Amino acid sequence: GESVGLHLPTLSVQEGDNSIINCAYSNSASDYFIWYKQESGKGPQFIIDIRSNMDKRQGQRVTVLLNKTVKHLSLQIAATQPGDSAVYFCAENIAGGSYIPTFGRGTSLIVHP
């Protein structure tokens, strides 16, 4: 089975709210994690990444949190906008290997104006 999975398949929020998308992973050898955004008709787009020696990383309106103890990471989007509506994937990369991300199933984020 897949080693990366998501807790919620669909998340609906109101414009301006903060969104939190969760992801669980099972491979303790993973040391690099990436969040991707995939809009309809497009390929996945890199949002933010985090290495296992960190527990938090911030970008523009996005924050990724990593909890290695429970093998969980989350993506927080501040002041969610309609343009944030997309499917979000977390992906993991195993230490020592080439950069080949293993994707989970994805969470569909729907932002209501």
Partner 1 sequence: DAGVTQSPTHLIKTRGQQVTLRCSPKSGHDTVSWYQQALGQGPQFIFQYYEEEERQRGNFPDRFSGHQYPNYSSELNVNALLLGDSALYLCASSPDRGGEQYFGPGTRLTVT
Binding residues for partner 1, rule: CB under 8 A, are 2, 4, 41-46, 49, 89, 91, 97-106
Nearer to partner 1, 53 or 99 (CB): 99
Nearer to partner 1, 88 or 111 (CB): 88
Nearest distance from residue 96's CB to partner 1, in Å?
11
Nearest to 8 by CA among 110, 112, 113: 110
Nearest distance from residue 76's CB to partner 1, in Å?
20
Tell me if 6 sits within 8 A of 92, measured CB to CB.
no
Nearer to partner 1, 41 or 83 (CB): 41
The half-sphere exposure of 32 on its side-chain side, counting CA atoms within 13 A, is 11
Nearest distance from residue 51's CB to partner 1, in Å?
13
